[in-house]
């Protein structure tokens, strides 16, 4: 069984080569899953669960994958620390996946 991890950044650039100067082949949205093909000191070679894209991301703390229950279907959605507050934590983009 392949082990998947969760992208917990609003967006993460996926590059063709191990360099931010390289072509960005796609972006992962918040909540998308990926598997790690290879690790280096600063980079991870990954395969995105949803669309099969393969590329490189900067090495970061990994979070175990959880199956999302909802998808953002508006241009953006604000995320708050608790109900009925104005303390916005982040803003998720269209297509981001969350578990509620």
We report the CATH number of the domain holding residue 43 as 2.30.30.40
Q: Residue 100 domain-assigned? A: no
Instruction: Tell me whether residue 40 is in a domain.
Output: yes
Terminal C-alpha separation, the chain: 25
> Which candidate, 74, 71, 73, places its Cα nearest to that of 98?
71
Q: Does the residue 78 lie in any domain?
A: no
Burial zone of 29 (CB within 10 Å; 0-12 exposed, 13-18 middle, 19+ buried): buried
The confidence score (pLDDT) of residue 85 equals 79
Whole-prediction pTM: 0.85
23 domain-assigned: yes
Q: What is the pLDDT of residue 15?
A: 97
**Assigned domain for 22 exists:** yes
Cβ pair 20, 13 in contact under 8 A: yes
pLDDT of residue 2: 83
Grouped pLDDT means (10 residues each) for the chain, 100 residues: 90 95 95 96 95 94 91 92 84 92
DSSP assignment of 19-30 equals: STTS-EEEEEET
Q: 53 lies in a domain?
A: yes
Name the domain count of the chain. Answer: 1
Look up the domain containing 28 and give its range. 5-63
pLDDT score at 68: 92
């Amino acid at each position: 069984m392949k082990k998947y991890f969760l992208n917990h950044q609003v967006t993460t650039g996926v590059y063709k080569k191990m360099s931010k100067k390289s072509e960005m082949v796609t972006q992962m949205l918040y909540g998308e899953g990926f598997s790690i093909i290879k690790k280096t000191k600063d980079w991870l070679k990954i395969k995105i669960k949803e669309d099969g894209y393969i590329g490189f991301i900067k090495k970061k703390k990994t979070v175990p994958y959880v199956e999302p229950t909802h998808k953002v279907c508006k241009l953006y959605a604000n995320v708050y620390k608790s109900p009925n507050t104005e303390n916005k934590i982040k803003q998720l983009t269209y297509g981001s996946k969350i578990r509620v």
